Amino acid sequence: MDLDTLLSFNWGIMAPEFTILIVGVLLTVIDLFGPTSVKKNIPKLGLVGVILAFILLVPQYGHDQVSILHDTYLFTPFAYYFKFILLIGAMLIFLMILSNESNKEITDRSEYIYLLLSALLGAMMMASSGDLITLFVGLELLSLSSYIMVGLRKKSLRANEGAMKYVINGSIATAFTLFGMSYIYGVSGSTNLVDISREMSASLGTAEPVATIGFIMMFIGLSFKISTVPFHMWTPDVYEGASTPVTAFLSVISKTAGFVIIMNIFFTIFTGNGEANTSLYDSMLLFIAVLAILSMLVGNLIALRQRNMKRMLAYSSIGHAGYMLIPLTSISQLSVENVWFYLFAYSFMTIGAFMVIYLLEQQKKSEDISIFTGLYQTSPVLAVCMTIFLISLAGIPGTAGFIGKFNIFVGAILAEPSLYILAAVMALGTIISYLYYFNILVQMFIRPPQLEGKVSVRVAESIPLIACVAGTIILGIFPFLALNFFQ
Amino acid sequence: MGLLSFLVFSPLIGFIVFCFIPKKEQTFIRNSAVVLHALPLLASGLVLFQFLDHASLAEKINWITFEIGEKVLGLHFELDVDGFSLVLILLTTLIGFLAVITSTWHINKDNRLFYQLMFLLQMGILGVFAADNLFLFFIFFEITLVPMFFLISKWGGTDREEAAFRYVIYNGLGSMILLIGIAAIFVLAGSTNYAEVQHYFAENGNPTLQLGLAFAFLLAFGIKLPIFPFHSWMVKVHVHAPPAVVMIHAGVLLKIGAYGLIKFGVGFFPDAFDSLAILIAVLGLFNLLYGAYLAFVQEDLRSVFAYSSISHMGIVLLGVSALNTAGIQGAIFQSVSHGLIAAMLFFLVGSLLARTNTTLLKKLSGLARLTPLLAGFFLAAALANLGLPGMSGFVSEFTVFLGIFKEMPILAAIGTLGIIMTVVYMLRAILNMTYGTYKSTYGEVQDLKASEVVPAVVLLICIIGIGVYPNAIGHMLQLTIETILGIGG
């Protein structure tokens, strides 16, 4: 390939990725050689980088499909919509980090900032790549960065435990993914998703079982990122061990990226060539449905017994991932839309909830559920914010969570009447989740305060809170804003 | 913004105003709560006038659309009222207003939050009745869940948290079944608008599917009503929630169950309900007799009234199962009448509780000498509850039995036993309390103040009014019932 072909690509479309990359590298250099006065501003510079990337992304709305270097980078509407969520999520997490600069644990360690950026870059690559190799590189970039972020608090026992579990589980999951990919490569002779799709739509004959095993293995490996059964075990320990902004990152951006790569691979392969190869996907349906049911039940039931708030939200996030698996049991535009909307809503309410926990854990030095006792008396505003996030997580109307759930319900019933079972289990999971979400409400509004320490909300802390509350409510009352945007 | 949206969202005005009132201003909070709660009452009066004027009240704002292939499915903000929902709206605003007046005497903790939750609850209930599509109905239905949870768990009696969790779990279960049903209807009919859904199922839809949906609705609203195996939450709430909240709960919230069963169940799936009629009648009969029997053995006055509510909801079910004009009309009458009576009973329980600090029957006696007014009103409410002619209870029970005797005479004959049992348990509780020797365990007790007499009198006037001239409501309902039963519509 000569220079002319290289320059002929529309590199401008990669501007958001380049921005993140350049800012990330720049911050690494500053951290190594820069003067202390500049070093202090690394988190702010990180935020600026993400905002810049977002500004560059927005005008790409409605842009034609662009392929760079034989589909290793693909700009599609799909990629656009999900990068939108990833960048908004990243902005909120940066705001969360910036909200409390007295927390030496995070602001003194610039590693957090550029690891976050590199992880974000990995996630964005997963959204816009049409080749298994680049997808895998993106996945590993995200994974490795997250492993380090979890383990950065090296004097904390829990952080070490969490990081260790994360690395080991993650490696096993990666092995599964690669194993599956190797089968697919063996059957189709290509790593390009569109090529694979073409090969798969022809009759596979005796190779079909091999392909099925390949896809299932890949799905199992990738389920690690979205923390669904069977690779969910790491979630509570890692969530508990990591510092709260990192936990929020894992539960929002890492999870979004996981769904993105799953949908990217499977939806491209099975619908890529115009004609869907449904027989192969149908053989996976039952499998995905069982995983969804297990995740919804395991997540919500175990959450009932948790007292540590981060563990509780970890299990609840397993349940939510189970809900989002339901649309994956049918391949259609509507499924993508439903997952997208749910992830969008989920970002706001989850980051919001983690923000409240972050704030309280700093001031009360605990992560136990008792940090919420009497919150309505000590800080009514914070209590009301948390209430909004919780009822949204529980899926009460008026909030984004409800619209997300309703979409999934409608989508499930539209696609396949037999998905009633999934809808019913989702309903059951929702009711179980009422118990632990409402329990927090009881702690906040009814119990007297149990722990010492005043609760105050500073301006910097209120910014991410306001953003999350606004997102949760606006998406709940005017969902068409987001849904129309998607179309 | 139309009159109906104003009605539905008028409590929200109060909610917002209350955000800016300082917590400390107790008297000011109480007074403004009463004033602001008069707003929905006035608005509902205006709606009534418009309705009687035959003016159109319907409103529609486009909200969410789904485009799936060629199909375009829409969910919109649609409000409308018919006779049935209007009667329940009037009931809501009246009882809500009286409940707030009652709370100003009895609620002494976190007043501001209490009234804010009452505003939200009021908005939810008004929305439920004013909605013109299932989706909106569901949204408002769920909105009532959160304020009720807090109202029970924060201001309730001894077992308040368990009562609140039971409330949320049972109602959550019901609403999830409802949500699956609504999603299915939405997908099938392409809309959730009442008229369109009714039209769709009149034209097509296979019988098995209709039966399944009808059963889902029966289950969902049966939990709310409540029907026999699902009643434990409702007894807990009756006993442990603050009386002012129970006024709304027993007076209006439970009626959502009856409203849903009649308007959606019977209205959308008449054939399926026809095949379920026997089941509903048997369930109704069981509710009626089982509730009455248990009411007879209760030790606590509030439990007596709770089981009495179950028993009376059995009559609603009997009316629904008749599936004829008289039966449905009776069921609606019974909902309204029981709403008024239950509100009055729990208003009086509130006053009693403030004086004696107990509602245990064995600790209460001789009230007639001590507090003649209170005892007198209790007796009046009890008589209304047991269906004394000239009061609303009689009219509704009579109409229901008129309907059911035509369809299932044997079941109806057994059902009449329930009426006799009602007399027995009501009089046992009330006479026990009213007469007998005065026990001084609760010290000096004042009779009802003049201001406290007002709500009781208002409710009593309504009860007697309906009893003497039932056509006042019957007139409004005629068209609705015809639409529901598909006669001439």
Q: Do B154 and A423 touch (CB under 8 A)?
A: no
- In whole angstroms, what separates CA A372 from the centre of its chain? 26
Whether the CB of A384 is below 8 Å from some CB of chain B: the reply is no
pLDDT at residue A274 is higher than 60? no
Cβ-Cβ contacts under 8 Å, A409 against chain B: 179-180, 183
Q: What residues does A66 pair with on adjacent strands?
A: A75
Whether the CB of B146 is below 8 Å from some CB of chain A: the reply is yes
Given 3-state DSSP classes, what are the helix, strand and coil percentages for chain A, each rounded to the nearest 5?
A: 80, 0, 20
Whether the CB of B398 is below 8 Å from some CB of chain A: the reply is no
The sign of the torsion formed by the CA atoms of B293, B297, B303, B304 equals: positive
pLDDT for position A261: 94
Whether the CB of B66 is below 8 Å from some CB of chain A: the reply is yes
Whether the CB of A448 is below 8 Å from some CB of chain B: the reply is no
How far does B188 lie from chain A, in Å, by closest CA? 8
Average pLDDT on B54-58 reads: 83
Question: Measured between alpha carbons, how far is A176 from B184 in angstroms, rounded to an integer?
Answer: 38
pLDDT at residue B487 is higher than 70? no
Q: What is the pLDDT of residues B222-233, one digit of tens each?
A: 998 888 888 899
Q: Are B383 and B350 in contact (CB under 8 A)?
A: no
- In whole angstroms, what separates CA A41 from the centre of its chain? 27
Q: What is the pLDDT of residues A168-222, one digit of tens each?
A: 999 999 999 999 999 999 888 889 888 888 888 776 677 788 888 899 999 999 9
Give the number of A-B residue pairs with CB atoms closer than 8 Å. 78
Whether the CB of A481 is below 8 Å from some CB of chain B: the reply is no
HSE at residue B321, side-chain half, CA atoms within 13 A, is 26
pLDDT for position A42: 87
Whether the CB of A445 is below 8 Å from some CB of chain B: the reply is yes
Residues 6 or more apart in contact with residue B108 via CB below 8 angstroms: none
Question: In a 3-state reduction of DSSP, which class is residue B268?
Answer: helix
Whether the CB of A485 is below 8 Å from some CB of chain B: the reply is no
* B 336-395: CB under 8 A from A: none
pTM of the model: 0.93
Question: Measured between alpha carbons, how far is A379 from A359 in angstroms, rounded to an integer?
Answer: 12
The overall longest dimension of chain A from CA atoms, in Å, is 72
Cβ-Cβ contacts under 8 Å, B179 against chain A: 406, 409, 427
Q: Two tokens at A265? A: 């691979």
Whether the CB of B184 is below 8 Å from some CB of chain A: the reply is yes
Calculate helix-pair angle for B450-468, B471-485, nearest 10 degrees: 60
| Boundaries of domain holding B329 | 269-489
- Name which of A278-287, A314-323, B136-145 the model is least confident about: A278-287
Give residue B434's pLDDT band: very low, low, confident or very high (50, 70, 90): confident
Whether the CB of A304 is below 8 Å from some CB of chain B: the reply is no
pLDDT at residue A13 is higher than 90? no
Number of Cβ atoms within 10 Å of the Cβ of A213: 15
Give residue A109's pLDDT band: very low, low, confident or very high (50, 70, 90): confident
Q: Two tokens at B307? A: 């089981």
- In whole angstroms, what separates CA B414 from the centre of its chain? 26
Q: What is the pLDDT of residues A446-479, one digit of tens each?
A: 888 887 767 788 888 899 999 999 999 999 988 8
pLDDT at residue B140 is higher than 50? yes
pLDDT at residue A251 is higher than 60? yes
Whether the CB of B159 is below 8 Å from some CB of chain A: the reply is no
pLDDT at residue A167 is higher than 90? yes
Question: Measured between alpha carbons, how far is B258 from B250 in angstroms, rounded to an integer?
Answer: 12
Q: Are A185 and A140 in contact (CB under 8 A)?
A: no
- Nearest residue of chain A to residue B62 (CA atoms): A480
Q: Do B184 and A413 touch (CB under 8 A)?
A: yes
How far does A479 lie from chain B, in Å, by closest CA? 7
- Nearest residue of chain B to residue A381 (CA atoms): B19
Question: Measured between alpha carbons, how far is A193 from B332 in angstroms, rounded to an integer?
Answer: 62
pLDDT at residue A378 is higher than 90? no
Q: Do A406 and B183 touch (CB under 8 A)?
A: yes
Of the two residues B13 and A418, the one the predictor is more confident about is B13
How far does B64 lie from chain A, in Å, by closest CA? 5
Of the two residues B359 and A402, the one the predictor is more confident about is A402
Cβ-Cβ contacts under 8 Å, B153 against chain A: 442, 445-446
Q: Where are the alpha helices (DSSP H) in B357-408?
A: 367-370, 372-385, 392-407
Cβ-Cβ contacts under 8 Å, A480 against chain B: 63-65
AA identity, residue B288: L
Identify the residue whose tokens are 């990243």.
A90
pLDDT for position B45: 92
- Name which of A103-112, A244-253, B170-179, B248-257 the model is least confident about: A103-112
Q: What is the pLDDT of residues B371-381, one digit of tens each?
A: 888 889 999 99
pLDDT for position B165: 92
Q: How far is CA B304 from CA A135, A329, B235, B312, B393, in A?
A: 67, 51, 9, 12, 17
Average pLDDT on B314-331 reads: 90
Nearest to A267 by CA among A280, A286, A256: A280
Nearest to B101 by CA among B470, B456, B479, B411: B456
Q: What burial letters (b/e) apply to A275-301, b meaning 16+ CB within 10 Å?
A: ebbeebbeebbeebbebbbbbbbbbbb
Please state the ipTM of this predicted complex: 0.90
Question: Measured between alpha carbons, how far is B47 from B384 in angstroms, rounded to an integer?
Answer: 28
Question: In a 3-state reduction of DSSP, which class is residue B387?
Answer: coil
Average pLDDT, chain B: 88
Q: Do B154 and A445 touch (CB under 8 A)?
A: yes
Q: Where are the alpha helices (DSSP H) in B323-371?
A: 325-356, 367-370
Question: In a 3-state reduction of DSSP, which class is residue B77?
Answer: strand
Q: Are A214 and A184 in contact (CB under 8 A)?
A: yes
DSSP per-residue codes, A269-313: HHHTTSS--HHHHHHHHHHHHHHHHHHHHHHHHHHTT--BHHHHH
Q: Do B179 and A406 touch (CB under 8 A)?
A: yes
Q: What burial letters (b/e) apply to A74-101, b meaning 16+ CB within 10 Å?
A: bbbbbbbbbbbbbbbbbbbbbbbbbbbe
Question: Measured between alpha carbons, how far is B329 from B325 in angstroms, rounded to an integer?
Answer: 6
* B 67-126: CB under 8 A from A: 67-68, 73, 113
pLDDT for position B340: 94
Question: In a 3-state reduction of DSSP, which class is residue B374?
Answer: helix
Question: Measured between alpha carbons, how far is B130 from B328 in angstroms, rounded to an integer?
Answer: 20
Closest CB from B66, B113, B153 relative to A442: B153
How far does A402 lie from chain B, in Å, by closest CA? 9
Residue at B152 is within a domain: no
Q: Are B252 and B339 in contact (CB under 8 A)?
A: yes
Average pLDDT on A256-278 reads: 80
Q: Do B66 and A410 touch (CB under 8 A)?
A: yes
- In whole angstroms, what separates CA B164 from the centre of its chain? 18
Whether the CB of A421 is below 8 Å from some CB of chain B: the reply is no
Cβ-Cβ contacts under 8 Å, A376 against chain B: 113
Question: In a 3-state reduction of DSSP, which class is residue A75?
Answer: strand
pLDDT at residue B488 is higher than 50? no
Cβ-Cβ contacts under 8 Å, A435 against chain B: 165, 169
Of the two residues A120 and A154, the one the predictor is more confident about is A120
Q: What is the pLDDT of residues A88-104, one digit of tens each?
A: 999 999 999 888 777 66
Whether the CB of B162 is below 8 Å from some CB of chain A: the reply is no
Average pLDDT on A348-356 reads: 95
pLDDT for position A487: 66
Question: Measured between alpha carbons, how far is B340 from B334 in angstroms, rounded to an integer?
Answer: 10
- The answer, yes or no, to whether the previous bond of A464 is cis (omega within 30 of 0) is no
Q: Do B180 and A442 touch (CB under 8 A)?
A: no
Of the two residues A399 and A203, the one the predictor is more confident about is A399
Domain ranges of chain A: 3-486
Most confident of A87-96, B386-395, B448-457: A87-96
Question: In a 3-state reduction of DSSP, which class is residue B254?
Answer: coil
Nearest to B17 by CA among B39, B2, B43: B39
pLDDT for position B489: 39
- In whole angstroms, what separates CA B142 from the centre of its chain? 15
Q: What residues does B61 pair with on adjacent strands?
A: B77
Residue at B99 is within a domain: no
pLDDT at residue B436 is higher than 70? yes
Whether the CB of A239 is below 8 Å from some CB of chain B: the reply is no
Q: How far is CA B253 from CA A366, B41, B121, B215, B258, in A?
A: 40, 17, 10, 21, 10
- The answer, yes or no, to whether the previous bond of A35 is cis (omega within 30 of 0) is no
Average pLDDT, chain A: 88
How far does A409 lie from chain B, in Å, by closest CA? 7
pLDDT at residue B485 is higher than 90? no
Q: Two tokens at B246? A: 């129970």
How far does A309 lie from chain B, in Å, by closest CA? 20
pLDDT for position B308: 93
Q: Two tokens at A149? A: 């972020």
Q: Do B161 and A413 touch (CB under 8 A)?
A: no
Q: Do B165 and A396 touch (CB under 8 A)?
A: no
Q: Are B385 and B345 in contact (CB under 8 A)?
A: yes
Cβ-Cβ contacts under 8 Å, B154 against chain A: 445-446
Question: In a 3-state reduction of DSSP, which class is residue A192?
Answer: strand
Q: Pick the residue of A438, A477, A485 with the most B CBs within 10 A to test the interface with B by mutation.
A: A438
Whether the CB of A435 is below 8 Å from some CB of chain B: the reply is yes
- Nearest residue of chain B to residue A402 (CA atoms): B139
The total of structural domains in chain B comes to 1
Q: Two tokens at A35? A: 């003067």
Closest CB from A409, A441, A483 relative to B179: A409
The alpha carbons of chain B give a radius of gyration, in whole angstroms, of 22
Question: Measured between alpha carbons, how far is B269 from B260 in angstroms, rounded to an integer?
Answer: 12
Question: Measured between alpha carbons, how far is A221 from A299 in angstroms, rounded to an integer?
Answer: 19
Closest CB from B145, B146, B176 relative to A430: B176
How far does A414 lie from chain B, in Å, by closest CA? 6
Q: What burial letters (b/e) apply to B345-384, b meaning 16+ CB within 10 Å?
A: bbbbbbbbbebbeebebeebbbbbebbebbbbbbbbbbbb
pLDDT for position A414: 80
